[in-house]
């Protein structure tokens, strides 16, 4: 169903990030490093340039560059060489997760979902794969403005919900995936639902290659969904993270949504104690 959202917005001002630089400089380099981490935590996950970071935080470019490279070497930052931008890396989340130790990661997970929803201006839904192959919504964030697609926590998606099914099978052993597909009884949820097994397998292979699944209004009319896997400690798909939205918005912003989804899934896998699979599924 479609509902009107309250349109909440998250403010990320450079001045609030820069405020951290006014703390007493007991160890100046450490103070500046902390300011940079806090600043990037408030920024879009696509990253910020050296010039902007140094200017907003009032740090000399040479000093800022050395700190950024130190944090990158330690696994806390990643550098996009093409864009020349820096962003927080999964290594930081991994270290933070170890720091909080036995505390529940639920709050961290929801914070990641909220950040993702804000960045891509769509809702996002985290689903758990059940023993019967179905998917249950266990968390969501709806920071998007305007009309959005929404499901309640506890909502059960069927095992053949197109986006989730493709994610689950794409990272499965090929022989097992083909056996499951052979037993699949296609249902036409909309007039664009792929029901041919050959075409469905082509979508599964494309999902693995690109790193995310696409449902082009195949489950609900007018709703396009991108979905990615979240792995357990054995490298198996345990959860599926998806961004459903109005087809016009998702199609227009597909590249950005996909990048944010994949990065968020990597962080959630680390928070959840999981890891990326050591290798690709067996070749057909």
- The reported pLDDT for the residue numbered 83 is 86
129-177 pLDDT, tens digit per residue, is: 998 899 999 999 998 776 677 788 999 999 999 999 999 999 999 999 9
User: Are residues 64 and 131 located together in one domain of the fold?
Assistant: no
Range 246-255 contact pairs with CB under 8 angstroms and sequence separation of 24 or more: 246/147, 246/148, 246/149, 246/222, 247/216, 247/217, 247/222, 247/223, 249/121, 249/122, 250/122, 250/224, 250/225, 250/226, 251/224, 253/120, 253/121, 254/214, 254/226
Boundary of a domain, candidates 88, 118, 146: 88
> Residue 2 domain-assigned?
no
User: Are residues 178 and 71 located together in one domain of the fold?
Assistant: no
- The reported pLDDT for the residue numbered 45 is 63
User: Are residues 81 and 164 located together in one domain of the fold?
Assistant: no
Question: Looking at the 3D structure of the chain, how many domains does it have?
Answer: 2
- The reported pLDDT for the residue numbered 277 is 57
Q: Which residue has the tokens 């696509």?
A: 46
Res. 253: pLDDT tops 80: yes
Least confident of 112-121, 144-153, 207-216: 144-153
Res. 3: pLDDT tops 70: no
> Residue 94 domain-assigned?
no
Which of 192, 179, 178 shows the shortest CA–CA distance to 224?
192
Q: What domain range includes position 156?
A: 101-271
Q: What is the mean pLDDT of the chain?
A: 83
User: Are residues 109 and 245 located together in one domain of the fold?
Assistant: yes
Which of 152, 121, 155 shows the shortest CA–CA distance to 244?
121
> Residue 175 domain-assigned?
yes
- What is the average pLDDT across 106-117? 88
User: Are residues 146 and 265 located together in one domain of the fold?
Assistant: yes
Res. 46: pLDDT tops 60: yes
- What is the average pLDDT across 179-196? 95
- What is the average pLDDT across 185-200? 95
Least confident of 26-30, 110-114, 172-176: 26-30
> Residue 283 domain-assigned?
no
> Residue 163 domain-assigned?
yes
Boundary of a domain, candidates 38, 64, 88: 88
User: Are residues 73 and 136 located together in one domain of the fold?
Assistant: no
- The reported pLDDT for the residue numbered 279 is 42
Res. 114: pLDDT tops 70: yes
User: Are residues 139 and 266 located together in one domain of the fold?
Assistant: yes
User: Are residues 232 and 123 located together in one domain of the fold?
Assistant: yes
- What is the average pLDDT across 116-127? 94
Taking the alpha carbons at both ends of the chain, their separation in whole angstroms is 39
> Residue 206 domain-assigned?
yes
- The tokens for 41 are 């935590």
- The tokens for 202 are 């082509």
Res. 102: pLDDT tops 80: no
User: Are residues 107 and 83 located together in one domain of the fold?
Assistant: no
- What is the average pLDDT across 175-190? 95
Boundary of a domain, candidates 31, 57, 88: 88
Question: How far is C-alpha 157 from the chain's CA centre?
Answer: 20
User: Are residues 70 and 121 located together in one domain of the fold?
Assistant: no
User: Are residues 36 and 58 located together in one domain of the fold?
Assistant: yes
- The reported pLDDT for the residue numbered 26 is 65
User: Are residues 59 and 139 located together in one domain of the fold?
Assistant: no
Which CATH number do you get for residue 49?
Answer: 1.10.10.10
- The reported pLDDT for the residue numbered 145 is 75
- Kind plus residue range of the DSSP H or E element containing 216: strand 213-216
- What is the average pLDDT across 107-116? 89
Instruction: Label residue 98 by pLDDT band (50, 70, 90).
Output: low
> pTM, whole model, 2 decimals?
0.64
Which CATH number do you get for residue 242?
Answer: 3.30.450.40
> Residue 116 domain-assigned?
yes
């Amino acid at each position: 169903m479609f509902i009107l959202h309250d349109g909440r917005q998250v403010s990320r001002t450079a001045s609030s990030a820069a405020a951290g630089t006014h703390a007493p400089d007991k160890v100046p380099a450490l103070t500046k490093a902390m300011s940079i981490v806090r600043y990037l935590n408030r920024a879009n996950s696509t990253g910020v340039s050296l010039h902007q970071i140094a200017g907003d935080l009032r740090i000399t470019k040479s000093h800022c560059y050395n700190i950024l490279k130190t944090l990158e070497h330690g696994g806390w930052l990643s550098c996009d060489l093409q864009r020349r931008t820096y962003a927080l890396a999964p290594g930081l989340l991994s270290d933070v997760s170890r720091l909080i130790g036995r505390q529940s990661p639920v709050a961290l997970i929801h914070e990641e979902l909220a950040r993702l929803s804000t960045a891509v201006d769509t809702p996002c839904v985290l689903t758990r794969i059940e023993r019967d192959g179905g998917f249950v919504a266990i968390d969501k964030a709806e920071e998007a403005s305007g009309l959005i697609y929404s499901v309640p926590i506890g909502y059960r998606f069927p095992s053949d919900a197109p986006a989730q099914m493709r994610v689950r099978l794409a990272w499965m052993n090929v022989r097992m995936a083909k056996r499951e597909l052979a037993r699949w009884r296609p249902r036409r949820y909309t007039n664009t639902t792929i029901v041919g097994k050959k075409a469905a397998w082509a979508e599964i292979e494309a999902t693995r290659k690109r790193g995310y699944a696409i449902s082009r209004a195949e489950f609900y009319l007018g709703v396009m969904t991108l979905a990615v896997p979240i792995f357990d400690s054995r490298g198996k798909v345990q959860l599926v993270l998806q961004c459903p939205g109005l087809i016009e918005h998702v199609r227009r912003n597909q590249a950005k949504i996909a990048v944010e989804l994949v990065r968020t899934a990597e962080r959630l896998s680390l928070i959840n104690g999981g890891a990326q699979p050591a290798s690709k599924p067996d070749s057909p």
